């Protein structure tokens, strides 16, 4: 957590564990879900990492590393941490990974455990052990699902089939699937070899690499409930095995270790240099600290008791021995510490990219090469920690989501152990990166809501734990604290706090009064003067059971950060239809409503709402008065069932909305579509679902979205934006087409061929117009035409059958008429896909470009085509001769103030220039077509007549004035000056460089260049009129083939080699 705000054994039993292969390919969807295939999710960042508690490298492959993201899957680097790739997306059915281990004997074999044991409030449960035997290309679930949460996974250094895992068990309830489990057949079967009781799980395992039969393990008695947690108890202890983990001996009270008193969390590490040297870090009230044994655990000496090393023990307590120096040992805590004297002192505080450190792996043959995991992800060092790789992968854990009124809108939220962050929904490029690079902090802190001011786009209200609340002005960078009650509650129990603000508490503007801001503790508070003063407008709207308001963390170390502050209002929804109505939901299971702006409140909790359910979202309908939905979860009570209800009468009656949902897929958020009543988006622990009937039936809307918790959702025009707790923000572009779907199509039915109405697009912000179409079957022919307002075709794109041998495992982007505007110029003219089901083609909103020819190299001249004017257009789909048409519109860039007349003038001039470039290039093609014929004559048996040679010399001279014929490489123009066609083409970028009328200078240059081109074109016509007949007369007399006025074919499907970036447009 961040303490600042940014303004910015003994029992044996068989354990279930037969290997489960990767799921077979899912059949093509039918019914209404057949329309979802064209919808794709796009990650928009932020490009900064989230929590990781496990990381490992490879001894055999120095550049290969792995880390486990607690909410974002497994990631792999093959270039020593410079870049990372998610390896479990679409291959596993969980996002929560807390352990990863690479087999030293075969680095392609990797085991990973799910869930985690850093028992914070936002912990995510797992579902067993996973294994890959091909470096992450495919995965198999290999059992132990009911363990649920794991601490460690360790592999025998010479036998990839022998593995030990530390099973912590369930967070909120007793269960017997806990302890150390072992497999000797690669996960086909498991045996529980170390077990204490149903309250105690395994928290650490260390294998002696020189004698792999020697293993040390730590057990930990701990639990987590919604209102608190406990670390330590009679079950905690330290153990040793000398037969590879088959049998264990407890050494918890060995000489030198604490003789009495409860033990808490324990970390243990055996030295690879000296197997007699063992390090342990122990949570204990009076005798906690770093311990060292020099006789393999028979006796111990306490070396260090600094609280820096053992603070907040439940969240850290990790220790790692160096593989080359037995006196060097590392401790991971808030900071990252190193001792070079066997743990006596830790003077070396190693600077890492992020705090809150959890794991360390060091290469056995090179102790300078390491990977370290922390709350910002993982980072690699090859110089012993002097420097580290960056954490620019998108694994951020975002708590809630809000959208600004900017164009483009910003998606904002608080990121766990970081700051608030806002990133653009569109308008900035995010292609081919794992998260966008752009983002701003807007006050508040890691856990808070962000509420953009509805009047001033530069003002943001943002929260954090402890009731912290800021008003941030992005224009000035100044942040003002406006806490309702600025009495810092850190370290106090909920029952001792006057105003109980949760770790994440609502901050919401009144939709009818932009001057009214609401925040919630156990009460609802209102301010109408930007936080200068606050008025309480409700009683305590929680159950406030005294049993849930006591201290958290003990019995050894308390931990009271705000996560454990309980009995608070966790969801608030002022009605968008009725100004007097406000809905409220508490984290202990109550729902209230006021219909008089807070004067009176009524408890409307659904009768079947489970006790202690956390109401995460109340969604007031923007379409129907008195209608609302609530979703909740109870996973910290060991209940993972989805909880959701709907009311249409202000809460007098409630109907469950969870029919058909998986029994263990808990719910996080719900939103109603802003345009289509009854269409709902549901954020679950594993993804997104959609309902077209108010929640009666649900359909998966997963697409290419990885398995991830969706903490919040919002509709932005035609797009659906989500915040995830492990993979940052995502956008489903043009999700608005779902509004056109008839939900009555029965499952098993294949919908007919259909062209959907394209969503409106904005110049400068949108990459293009998304044209979605469904094909009932694979057609023989297909084409897409773009028509202007008069019905005149301006672009045509043909269909193309995809290569069936194409790698189906790769994520495909929709076909696009856009280009990337990079130095290599535009791609080949795009084609439209023809696969049965949903297809998407994106027109880049541009006219056809100019004619090109083979070998053409231009300097600073793009050939994207001129940007289409704002206005009305039509999309035409022609499938096997049958035509479908739909209208759409293009809007102007809302950021640019320009008159329609100026835009028209810009468009017309750019089109005129484009036409002239084509004229110039067509002249070159004509000359080269005649030259090809003359060259063919030269290869014959007869000599080429002088008249032909003279004609070609004359034509070549004209060609050289139109085009620089000496250019053969991209930077040759630095040596050989560009000619008319290039000069004209470069002018297009100047014209389109901004949303304004063409400058006087631009028009003047075009006039001059156009006149010069006319001179050359007239000269070309004169040369042909005079020289071609004469040459052909001689050729005829000589019995040779006459020359034709026949140009070479253009090469319009290829880029102009070496095109340089030529500015943007609006």
Closest by CA position to 216, among listed 224, 225, 228, 207: 207
> What's the rounded Cα separation, in Å, for the pair 143 and 140?
9
> What's the rounded Cα separation, in Å, for the pair 223 and 677?
43
- pLDDT at 822 exceeding the cut of 90: no
Average pLDDT, the chain: 92
Q: How many CA atoms lie within 13 A of 701 on its CB side?
A: 28
> What's the rounded Cα separation, in Å, for the pair 646 and 660?
16
SS3 895: coil
Tokens of 684: 């679950």
Percent of the chain with pLDDT over 70: 92
Q: Under a CB-based contact definition with an 8 Å cutoff, are residues 1020 and 927 in contact?
A: yes
Cis amide linkage into residue 555, ω under 30° from 0: yes
At residue 994 the predicted structure's pLDDT band, cuts being 50, 70 and 90, is confident
At residue 437 the predicted structure's pLDDT band, cuts being 50, 70 and 90, is low
**Mean pLDDT across the stretch 540-546?**
98
At residue 569 the predicted structure's pLDDT band, cuts being 50, 70 and 90, is very high
667-699 core/surface letters (b: 16 or more CB in 10 A; e: else)? bbbbbbbbebebbbbbbbbbbbbbbbebbebbb
- Give pLDDT tens digits for 911-969: 999 999 999 999 999 999 999 999 999 999 899 999 999 999 999 999 999 999 999 99
> What's the rounded Cα separation, in Å, for the pair 63 and 80?
4
Pairing between strand 215-225 and 237-241? antiparallel
Q: Report the number of secondary-structure helices (H) and strands (E) in the chain.
A: 5, 67
φ, ψ at 1008 (rounded to 5°): -65, -50
Residues facing residue 751 across a β-bridge: none
- Give pLDDT tens digits for 199-253: 999 999 999 999 999 999 999 999 999 999 999 999 999 999 999 999 999 999 9
The torsion of the CA quartet 739, 572, 495, 480, rounded to 10 degrees, works out to 110
Q: Under a CB-based contact definition with an 8 Å cutoff, are residues 985 and 858 in contact?
A: yes
Tokens of 683: 């954020």
- Give pLDDT tens digits for 650-661: 999 999 999 999
Contacts of 524 (CB under 8 A, 6+ apart): 518, 536, 537, 538, 541, 569, 572, 582, 584, 598
Q: What is the DSSP letter of 857?
A: B
Q: What is the pTM of this model?
A: 0.91
Closest by CA position to 409, among listed 390, 394, 423, 395: 423
- Give pLDDT tens digits for 366-415: 999 999 999 999 999 999 999 999 999 999 999 999 999 998 899 999 99
**Mean pLDDT across the stretch 991-1001?**
91
- pLDDT at 976 exceeding the cut of 90: yes
> What's the rounded Cα separation, in Å, for the pair 604 and 830?
56
- Give pLDDT tens digits for 695-706: 999 999 999 999
> What's the rounded Cα separation, in Å, for the pair 900 and 1066?
13
> What's the rounded Cα separation, in Å, for the pair 690 and 673?
10
- pLDDT at 817 exceeding the cut of 50: no
- Give pLDDT tens digits for 295-307: 999 999 999 999 9
φ, ψ at 378 (rounded to 5°): -135, 150
Q: How many CA atoms lie within 13 A of 218 on its CB side?
A: 30
- Give pLDDT tens digits for 865-916: 999 999 999 999 999 999 999 999 999 998 889 999 999 999 999 999 999 9
Taking CA 829 as the corner, what is the angle to CA 823 and CA 831, rounded to the nearest 5 degrees?
A: 135
Cis amide linkage into residue 62, ω under 30° from 0: no
- Give pLDDT tens digits for 155-167: 999 999 999 999 9
Quickly count: other Cβ atoms within 10 Å of residue 78's Cβ. 15
> What's the rounded Cα separation, in Å, for the pair 776 and 1064?
39
Residue pointed to by tokens 């409307």: 604
Q: Under a CB-based contact definition with an 8 Å cutoff, are residues 835 and 785 in contact?
A: no
Q: Under a CB-based contact definition with an 8 Å cutoff, are residues 491 and 560 in contact?
A: yes
The torsion of the CA quartet 564, 569, 572, 574, rounded to 10 degrees, works out to -160
Closest by CA position to 307, among listed 293, 317, 321, 320: 317
- pLDDT at 1053 exceeding the cut of 80: no
Closest by CA position to 592, among listed 525, 631, 541, 519: 541
Tokens of 194: 């170390």
Contacts of 453 (CB under 8 A, 6+ apart): 459, 460, 461, 509, 514
> What's the rounded Cα separation, in Å, for the pair 414 and 401?
8
- pLDDT at 819 exceeding the cut of 70: no
- Give pLDDT tens digits for 582-606: 999 999 999 999 999 999 999 999 9
Q: Under a CB-based contact definition with an 8 Å cutoff, are residues 469 and 482 in contact?
A: yes
Quickly count: other Cβ atoms within 10 Å of residue 82's Cβ. 12
Q: Under a CB-based contact definition with an 8 Å cutoff, are residues 504 and 448 in contact?
A: yes
Q: Under a CB-based contact definition with an 8 Å cutoff, are residues 618 and 571 in contact?
A: yes
Question: What are the Cα distances from residue 241, in Å, to 146, 207, 659?
Answer: 25, 10, 49
294-332 core/surface letters (b: 16 or more CB in 10 A; e: else)? bebbeebebbbeeeebbebbbbbbbbbbbbbebbbbbbb
């Amino acid at each position: 957590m961040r303490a600042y705000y940014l303004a910015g054994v003994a029992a044996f039993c068989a354990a279930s564990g037969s290997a489960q292969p990767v799921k077979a390919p899912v059949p093509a969807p039918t019914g209404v879900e057949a329309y979802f295939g064209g919808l794709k999710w796009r990650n928009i960042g932020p490009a900064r990492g989230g929590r990781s508690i496990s990381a490992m490298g490879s001894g055999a492959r120095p550049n290969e590393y792995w880390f486990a993201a607690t909410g974002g899957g497994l990631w792999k680097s093959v270039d020593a941490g410079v870049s990372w790739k998610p390896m479990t997306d679409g291959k596993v059915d969980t996002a929560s990974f807390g352990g990863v281990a690479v087999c030293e004997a075969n680095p392609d074999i990797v085991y990973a455990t799910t869930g985690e044991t850093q028992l914070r409030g936002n912990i995510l449960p797992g579902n067993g052990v996973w294994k890959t035997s091909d470096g992450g290309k495919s995965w198999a679930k290999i059992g132990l699902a009911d363990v649920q949460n794991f601490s460690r996974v360790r592999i025998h250094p010479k036998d990839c089939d022998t593995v030990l895992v530390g099973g912590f068990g369930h967070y909120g309830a007793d269960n017997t699937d806990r302890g150390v489990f072992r497999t000797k057949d690669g996960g086909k079967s498991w045996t529980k070899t170390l077990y204490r009781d149903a309250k105690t799980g395994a928290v650490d395992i260390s294998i002696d690499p020189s004698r792999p039969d020697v293993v040390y393990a730590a057990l930990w008695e701990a639990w987590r409930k919604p209102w608190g947690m406990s670390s330590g108890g009679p079950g905690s202890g330290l153990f040793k095995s000398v037969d590879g983990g088959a049998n264990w001996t407890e050494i918890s009270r060995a000489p030198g270790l604490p003789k009495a008193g409860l033990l808490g969390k324990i970390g243990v590490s055996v030295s690879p240099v000296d197997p007699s040297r063992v390090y342990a870090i122990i949570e204990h009230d009076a005798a906690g600290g770093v311990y060292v044994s020099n006789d393999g655990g028979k006796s111990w000496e306490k070396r260090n008791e600094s609280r820096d090393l053992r603070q907040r023990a439940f969240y850290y307590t990790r220790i790692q021995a160096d593989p080359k120096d037995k006196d060097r040992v590392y401790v991971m805590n808030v900071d990252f510490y190193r001792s070079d004297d066997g743990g006596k002192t830790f003077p070396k505080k190693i600077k890492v990219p992020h705090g809150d450190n959890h794991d360390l792996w060091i290469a056995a043959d090179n102790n300078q090469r390491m990977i370290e995991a922390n709350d910002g992800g993982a980072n690699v060092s090859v110089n012993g920690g002097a420097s580290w790789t960056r954490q620019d992968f998108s694994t951020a854990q975002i708590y809630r989501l809000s959208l600004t009124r900017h164009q483009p809108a910003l998606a904002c939220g608080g990121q766990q152990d970081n700051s608030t962050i806002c990133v653009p929904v569109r308008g900035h490029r995010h292609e081919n990166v794992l998260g966008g690079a752009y983002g701003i902090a807007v006050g508040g802190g890691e856990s808070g809501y962000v509420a953009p001011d509805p009047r001033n786009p530069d003002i943001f209200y943002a929260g954090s734990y402890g009731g912290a609340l800021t008003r941030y002005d992005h224009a000035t960078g100044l942040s003002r604290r406006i806490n309702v009650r600025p009495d810092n509650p850190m370290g106090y129990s909920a029952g001792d706090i006057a105003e109980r603000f949760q770790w994440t508490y609502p901050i919401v503007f009144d939709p009818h009064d932009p001057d009214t801001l609401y925040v919630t503790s156990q009460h609802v508070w209102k301010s109408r003067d930007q936080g200068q003063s606050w008025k309480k407008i409700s009683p305590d709207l929680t159950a406030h059971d005294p049993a849930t308001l006591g201290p958290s963390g003990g019995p050894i170390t308390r931990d009271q950060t705000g996560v454990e502050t309980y009995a608070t209002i966790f969801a608030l929804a002022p009605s968008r239809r009725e100004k007097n109505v406000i809905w409220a939901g508490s984290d202990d299971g109550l729902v209230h409503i006021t219909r008089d702006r807070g004067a009176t409140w009524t408890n409307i909790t659904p009768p079947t709402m489970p006790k202690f359910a956390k109401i995460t979202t109340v969604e007031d309908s923007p379409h129907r008065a008195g209608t609302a939905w609530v979703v909740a979860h109870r996973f910290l009570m060991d209940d993972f069932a989805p909880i959701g209800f709907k009311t249409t009468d202000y809460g007098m009656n409630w109907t469950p909305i969870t029919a058909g949902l998986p029994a263990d897929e808990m719910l996080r958020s719900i939103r109603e579509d802003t345009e289509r009543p009854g269409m709902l988006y549901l954020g679950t622990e594993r993804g997104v679902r959609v309902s077209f009937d108010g929640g009666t039936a649900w359909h998966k809307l997963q697409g290419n979205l990885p398995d991830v918790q969706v903490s919040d959702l919002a509709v932005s025009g035609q797009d659906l934006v989500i915040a995830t707790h492990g993979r940052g923000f995502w956008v489903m572009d043009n999700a608005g087409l779902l509004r056109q779907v008839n939900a009555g199509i029965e499952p098993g039915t294949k919908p007919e061929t259909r062209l959907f109405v394209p969503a409106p697009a904005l110049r400068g912000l949108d990459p293009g117009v998304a044209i979605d179409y469904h094909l009932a079957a694979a057609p023989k022919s297909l084409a897409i035409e773009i028509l202007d307002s008069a019905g005149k075709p301006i672009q045509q794109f043909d269909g193309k059958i995809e290569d069936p041998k194409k790698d189906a495992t790769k994520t495909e982007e929709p076909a696009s008429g856009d280009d990337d505007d990079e130095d290599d110029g535009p791609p080949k003219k795009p084609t439209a896909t023809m696969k049965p089901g949903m297809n998407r083609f994106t027109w880049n909103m541009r006219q056809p470009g100019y004619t090109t020819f083979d070998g053409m190299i231009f300097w600073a001249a793009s050939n994207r085509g001129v940007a289409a004017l704002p206005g009305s257009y039509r999309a035409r789909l022609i499938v096997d001769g049958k035509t479908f048409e739909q209208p759409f519109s293009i809007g102007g860039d809302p950021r640019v103030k320009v008159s329609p007349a100026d835009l028209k003038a810009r468009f017309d001039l750019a089109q005129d220039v484009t036409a002239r470039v084509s004229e110039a290039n067509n002249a070159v093609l004509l000359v080269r077509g005649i030259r090809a014929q003359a060259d063919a004559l030269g290869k014959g048996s007869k000599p080429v007549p002088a008249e032909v040679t003279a004609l070609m010399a004359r034509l070549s001279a004209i060609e050289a004035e139109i085009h620089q014929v000496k250019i053969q490489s991209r930077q040759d123009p630095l040596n050989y000056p560009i000619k008319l066609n290039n000069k004209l083409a470069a002018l297009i970028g100047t014209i389109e460089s901004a949303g304004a009328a063409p400058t006087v200078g631009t028009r003047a240059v075009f006039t001059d260049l156009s006149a010069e081109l006319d001179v050359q074109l007239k000269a070309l016509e004169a040369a042909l009129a005079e020289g071609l007949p004469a040459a052909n007369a001689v050729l005829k007399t000589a019995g040779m083939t006459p020359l034709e006025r026949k140009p070479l074919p253009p090469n319009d499907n290829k880029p102009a080699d070496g095109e340089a970036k030529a500015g943007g447009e609006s």
